Structure 1
Amino acid sequence: MSTNPLLDTAGLPLFDQIQPAHVSPAMDALLAESEAALAKVTSPDVAANYDALSLLLDVPTERLGRAWGAVGHLNAVADTPELRAAFNENIPRLTEFYTRLGADEQLYAKYKAIDVQDRAEGVQQRKLTPARRRALDNALRGFVLGGAELQGEAKQRFAEIQELQAAKSQAFSEHVMDATDAFAHFASTGELDGVPDDVKAATRAAAETDGKEGHKLTLHMPSYLPVMQYATNRALREAMYRAYATRASELGASERDNTVLMQEIVALRQEEARLLGYANFADVSLVPKMAQSHQQVTDFLRDLAQRARPYAEKDMAELRDFARTECDLTDLQAWDVAFVSEKLKEARYAFSDQEVKQYFTEPTVLQGLFGLIEKLFDVTISPDTAPVWHASVRFFRIERAGKLVGQFYLDPYARAGKRPGAWMDDVRGRWARPDNGQTQTPVAHLVCNYAKGVGDKPALLTHDDVTTLFHEFGHGLHHMLTQVDDIGVAGISGVEWDAVELPSQFMENFCWEWDVVQKLTSHVDTGAHLPRALFDKMVAAKNFQSGMQTLRQIEFSLFDMRLHAEPGAEGNIQALVDAVRQEVAVNIPPAFNRFQHSFSHIFAGGYAAGYYSYKWAEVLSADAYAAFEEAATPQAGVLNAEVGRRYREAILEAGGSRSAMENFKAFRGREPSIDALLRHQGMA
């Protein structure tokens, strides 16, 4: 076996052995393999044949993609200066190769020849399966969007733009991570009046690790959010809010300021769009999505905003009134909103998030989640072994009838050097491999950022943490339960971006079912299940401030779409943020708020002119879940195995082998309706 672990791509990544020094030599070797494959496959002696192209080209490029994926993953969850340097050194090389691969005229010509041959056969005689036909159509579209039809200087500039975008997006992401990690406030116990005991224990332990007195507060969510929700010290809340809301902006350290990067990234995207013959980047972004135009998206968002606005205005009026009468706050500020909201929720529904959190112990939550998946989707989940990058990472396998279906890594806890947020990523996809005839099973990363337990106590999850965990597992199931053997359309591959959130948001609904929640809970001290009375209060509070939350998501989505659709919008991004807020927000943040400077989804995460996907897919996911509600019985509740089988087969197993609309109609027998979403959010 090679001494470079990144070159051993036969099995699972050797995460415990990968060092920064391995990155460049591995990329040298794997890029050389892929370059040789591209040269061979585009030569005249290789016929325009799908299987031949897949064997000669897809095998080495998939190997390259898996090794680079492992490096990128470590860069996100175990960042060090050395690894970051190695990663950044190789970004331009990888970007240049993939850009050239996606724009190669001779390769494009071979795929076009396969297309012509297949269409000439007539529908009955076609050689390509429907899944492979879909993969070919996607590939042809990808060549066009990848600049394959450009010539001369335009093609050269297109390639330069891809490299510049990759480098600038990576820098944006690093600035957000560094700005988040750089902040620390050491507070006295007195300053933390009102903050829950388990949070204080964790912040005290963090200070001790640093050899300091008091409590270490950071901008990572397990530390930041409880302070904003519970700390009675208003000055502390304001200081924390300012630090969080100005991350990676001109109001902080200049070397971490994302102001110019944002302008440059958007300008490059607009230039790319013009080279491809589009008016703006929004139109390019929407080509492979369900939505037909940026006008359709903005109309959808504005319609939803109009429906939500009366509820949001009511939410805000109630909050201001409660702040004045119960909290002695006549001037409700941004750093008061989470605090007053928590107090209002406690007063109205007679419970707190902190009370609920004592019941959601991590081992029980995972056991309940796995049990739900096993029942609905006819699988078993069990612990497995694999090399990992941190001691707290676990590995599991999913089987059906004793046969391996997929595997996943679970990295649950927040820590320094790990990107904030939660996400699912693929390690490898399902594939009937052309080199050995074996079916490669899919493997996924599931990453969260909740607080680790202190001492011998298990981690305690808020209900929001539980919902986030279910959400990411929905993505994971979409990737792992696929039965499609063509790697380009297996699992999440080839799924329209504005439908990719359907399976994730779908899973969130189970977090509001009594039969499910019982199995997710055991009190940290007594082991008791969540009491029914407390659950009923949670359900009553489910749509607490849902109007405000809906408008907040629409604010992000509309800003994103307008930024990428309107000429010159990158010239004054703050003015656009302000204009969007004036149009849709009922709670306008202070002038110093720079949320866009850490909006990694659109500047570094693939959601550019696509953030609306969360709301778009919510229509699909709510309607899909309604099928389970319609079939519910007093005995089984919503856990109907027959509906679960139909959902699994029509949506999860089909993956990207059909359009998202075809998948949805195969499950529901009709097109989606917005009614279920409005009902679920209390806005019917």
Structure 2
Amino acid sequence: MQTSSLIELLPDFNALQADQIEAKVDQLLADSRQKLAQIVACDEPPSWQNLVEPMEQIEHGFESIWEPIGHLDAVRNADDWHAAYDACLQKVTEYHTEVGQNQALFARFEALAKSSAYATLNIAQKKVVDNALRDFRLSGIALAPAQQAEYKQISQRLSQLSSQFGNQVLKATQAWSKHITDAAELAGLPESAMGLLQQYAQQKQLDGWRVTLDFPSYLAVMTHADNRALREEVYRAFSTRASDQADNPELDNSANIDEIRQLRHQLALLLGFNNYAERSLATKMVESTDQVIGFLRDLARQAKPQAQQDLKNLREFAQTQLGLNDLQPWDITYVSDKLKQQRLSLSQEILKPYFPVEQTLSGLFTIVERLFGVQAVQVSGVSVWHDDVRFYELRDEQNQLVAGFYLDLYARENKRGGAWMDTVQTRWRHPNGDVQVPVAHLICNFTPPIGSKPACLTHDEVTTLFHEFGHGLHHMLTEMEHMDISGINGVPWDAVELPSQFMENFCWEREGLDLISGHVDSGEPLPDDLFESLKQSRHFQSAMMMVRQLEFSLFDFLLHAEYNPQAVEPVQAVIQRVRDEVAVIQPPSYNRFANSFSHIFAGGYAAGYFSYKWAEVLSADAFSLFEEQGILDVDTGRKFKNTILAAGGSVDPMVLFKAFRGREPDIAALLRHSGIAA
């Protein structure tokens, strides 16, 4: 496939208009239903060619028409667009539920699985058929008609609620800002942060500075502002977003959360599970709810004593060095930064000039080229949704096109917070024999360039970039050619974080840092003293960070595993119970963290947030082979690519892991990387 043909196949984002998308989606649904009718009406025995291939073509239609619409809702959100998107979302959900409950289609898949033709399929093809049968059961294929109608209704309502949840978080984030005209109020903020807040003010035709709840602004204030009252004000605004405690309670997500919990539980019961956590595990590596809870509690047991010691050290430092006798949640980041500077002569701000965006990207691409044999080449002339967005191709050592990706690095208005990888198109062999090249979206929310100065990244932002690129590599370097198991498709959710967390490790190693760092003024790589400090900082308060992640994971899991419709435990009570067990920092009573926890209420992590920790065991242990063989060892890199990345969702991740590592995963590497004594 030639370069030009890839560009021609990409979405024309500028041509998409809010008032036209409903007609586009209606046409897509009509065409899909017509094709589906032809597939089930076929009077020949079911085969790969007359059943799976035409189903994949329908899926391809959704990828090319529906995906860009959802993408723009996240990166260029506007009220008219979101309203049109929401109206279409209902119809799309209804269609997918219909497919999942189509008895004639299910019968053909079942017949294929039982036929002699199944035996002639390869491993990947068999996996596609097996997954399809599993998904039919999870869509309520075995239910009576009345229950199927209920399932359909619940599914539609859930997709509507999750869209509403995410939209209200975005709106609530944008609804709050603070205009400051006296620079003294922002004492302590570095020049780069002051420039950013000034830029935010200028965007609203204001003089002075404007503090917002966009993450670069929020983090700058929480880390650097000497003004404690300002830190508390910003913390309060951030931690009460989309809640009854916020200044604008009309964006309160509490009712959405209650209804989502109730409906998920109902859905799980309909399908014969005891709770939604069990339903969630039906598509994961982990075998039981007890296994998840045991895993999280065991990690908490190992990490909490050290986390308590971390906090004790922080309190003592705050008291003796900063005169803070009552350390509060809005002081933690600020005091931690000061303690890190004193102990390690290190802070995010000291490191930042060493990670100009262009140098970091260049280094990332060099690491990827060395390990996986693919080169990133920037391409112009591609339709994008904002001027900051870039497009790259990945080419192999023979200069053959392997994949493409969009890179959208900076935070801005009307863009959802956080960082993520999403699919533009999946690697797939068309029935005519052409192989579609995989393309990914890589989205971050970093501090944009200020004026004419190049953007520089904090080390945390560098690891975020590597994390998302790891997801991107999983999608782009697959060798699978069937939609449902290509790239991250069909990969159990608790294994999907393996490549992303694996890639983060290169940001801590000398060999990686020499490539990704170069001082913005001098080009000098990270000096030895800063490197040593950075290495030590990996363990700095790592136990405190570990128990915080475990708090989120346990809260999410217990919220779904222990839901009792006869006596619903309030969300705040669940999170308090978890905090009492694993947390070392207790936030104020007004904190409404759950109301903006988009991962589980507006993303795919419901009863699955534990996946980050579960996959971190795999990723740390996988990386330990590079520590043994050489951080940039080409053979180990190719082995990782050819086992973990190439197989997509075609093989059980534990089988792939053992093929790569030669044994079962061991938790020791994670505890070592985290500086937590086993």
* TM-score tier after normalising by the smaller chain length: over 0.9
Please give the alpha-carbon distance, in whole angstroms, between the structure 1 residues aligned to 2:568 and 2:164: 18
Preserved CA contact (<8 Å) 1:258 1:597: yes
- Secondary structure (helix, strand or coil) at the match of 1:114 reads helix
Stretches of structure 2 lacking an aligned partner (at least 5 in a row): 1-5
Deviation at 1:262, TM superposition (A): 0.2
Give, as a single letter, the amino acid of the residue that structure 2 aligns with 1:226: A
Separation in 2, partners of 1:375, 1:490:
24
Q: Does structure 1 retain, via aligned residues, the 8 Å contact 2:538–2:673?
A: no
- Normalized against structure 2, the TM-score is what? 0.97
Give the letter for the 1:511 counterpart.
C
Q: Which amino acid aligns with 1:286?
A: L
Judging changes above 3 Å, is the alpha-carbon distance between structure 1 residues 46 and 171 closer, same or farther for their aligned structure 2 residues? farther
Q: Within 2, Cα distance between the matches of 1:570 and 1:413?
A: 41
Partner residue of 2:200?
A: 206
Out of 403, 413, 423, the position equivalent to 1:426 is: 423
How many angstroms apart in 1 are the aligned matches of 2:468 and 2:42?
45
| DSSP-derived class of the 2:41 partner | coil
CA distance in 2, matches of 1:32, 1:332: 60
Amino acid at match of 1:210: K
Corresponding residue SS for 1:421? coil
Closer, same or farther in 2 for the Cα pair 1:663/1:534, shift >3 Å?
same
Give the one of 241, 247, 250 matched to 2:244.
250
Q: Identity, % of aligned pairs?
A: 47
Match for residue 479 of structure 2? 483
Provide Cα deviations, 1:68-105, integer angstroms capped at 9, x if missing partner. 11000000000011111110111110000011111111
Matched, 1:503 2:496: no
Query: Within 5 A, what are the aligned runs for 1:582-661?
Result: 582-632=580-630, 638-661=631-654
* Residue identity opposite 1:21 in structure 2: D
The aligned amino acid for 1:353 is Q
Aligned-residue RMSD, C-alpha: 1.3
Once residues 496 and 229 of structure 1 are traced to their aligned partners in structure 2, the CA distance between those partners, rounded to angstroms, is 36
- Any conservation in 2 of the 1:492–1:656 contact (CA below 8 Å)? yes
Distance 1:46 1:383 in 2: 48
Correspondence for 1:323 among 318, 341, 362: 318
State the shift of 1:56 in Å.
2.8
Question: Do the aligned partners of 1:432 and 1:486 also contact (CA within 8 Å) in 2?
Answer: yes
User: Which structure 2 residues correspond to residues 445-484 of structure 1 after superposition, within 5 A?
Assistant: 445-484=441-480
Give the match for residue 127 of structure 1: 120
- Please give the alpha-carbon distance, in whole angstroms, between the structure 2 residues aligned to 1:472 and 1:587: 29
Note closer, same or farther for the CA distance 1:299–1:191 as it changes in structure 2 (3 Å cut): same
Mapped to 1, the partners of 2:50 and 2:20 lie a distance apart of 32
Q: Look up the SS of the partner of 1:41 in the other structure.
A: helix
- Structure 1 match to 2:363: 368
Contact kept in structure 2, 1:563 and 1:570, CA below 8 Å:
no
Q: Please tell me whether residue 147 in structure 1 is matched to residue 147 in structure 2.
A: no
Distance 1:58 1:658 in 2: 19
Please tell me whether the aligned partners of residues 431 and 440 of structure 1 are also in contact (alpha carbons under 8 angstroms).
Answer: yes
Q: Which residue of 2 aligns with 1:5?
A: none
Cα 1:422–1:346, aligned 2, differ >3 Å: closer, same or farther? same
Q: CA deviation at 1:44?
A: 4.7
What secondary structure does 1:69 align onto? helix
8 Å contact 1:30–1:60 — kept in the other structure?
A: no
Give the Cα–Cα distance (whole angstroms) in 1 for the partners of residues 251 and 596 of structure 2: 11
Distance 1:221 1:11 in 2: 34
> Contact 1:40–1:46 at 8 Å: present in 2 too?
no
1:58 is displaced (CA, Å) by 2.1
1:159 maps to a residue whose letter is K
* CA distance in 1 between partners of 2:577 and 2:78 (Å): 39
DSSP-derived class of the 2:479 partner: coil
- How high is the TM-score relative to the length of structure 1? 0.96
Say if 1:30 and 1:64, in contact at 8 Å, map to a contact too.
yes
Residue 66 of structure 1 and its aligned partner are, at CA, apart by 2.6
Q: Select which of 567, 574, 577 maps to 2:563.
A: 567
Match of 1:262 among 257, 261, 267: 257
Matched, 1:186 2:179: yes
Residue 273 of structure 1 aligns to which amino acid in structure 2?
Answer: A
1:443 pairs with one of 439, 443, 447: 439
Partner amino acid, structure 1, of 2:215: M
Partner in structure 1 of residue 302 of structure 2? 307
Distance in 2 (CA, whole Å) between partners of 1:9 and 1:89 is 30
Instruction: Report deviation, 1:254.
Output: 2.5
Contact 2:56 2:483 in 1 (8 A): no
CA distance in 2 between partners of 1:315 and 1:132 (Å): 51
- More off after superposition, 620-629 vs 185-194: 185-194
Select the residue among 405, 415, 435 that pairs with 2:402. Answer: 405
- Counterpart-to-counterpart distance in 1, 2:625 and 2:55: 42
Partner-residue secondary structure (3-state), 1:499 = coil
- Change in CA separation of 1:49 and 1:216 when aligned onto 2, cut-off 3 Å: same
CA distance in 2, matches of 1:643, 1:161: 47
CA distance in 2, matches of 1:357, 1:453: 13
- The alpha-carbon deviation at position 384 of structure 1 amounts to 1.7
Shift of 1:10: 7.2
Instruction: Give, in whole Å, the separation in 2 of the partners of 1:155 and 1:100.
Output: 9
Q: Is the 8 A contact 1:78 1:389 kept in 2?
A: yes
Q: Deviations over 1:429-473 (max 9, x none)?
A: 111111x21011100000000011112211110000000000000
Partner of 1:392: 388
Return closer, same or farther for 1:570/1:361 CA change in 2, 3 Å cut-off.
farther
TM-fit CA distance, 1:47? 3.2
Of residues 651, 669, 676, the one that matches 1:676 is 669
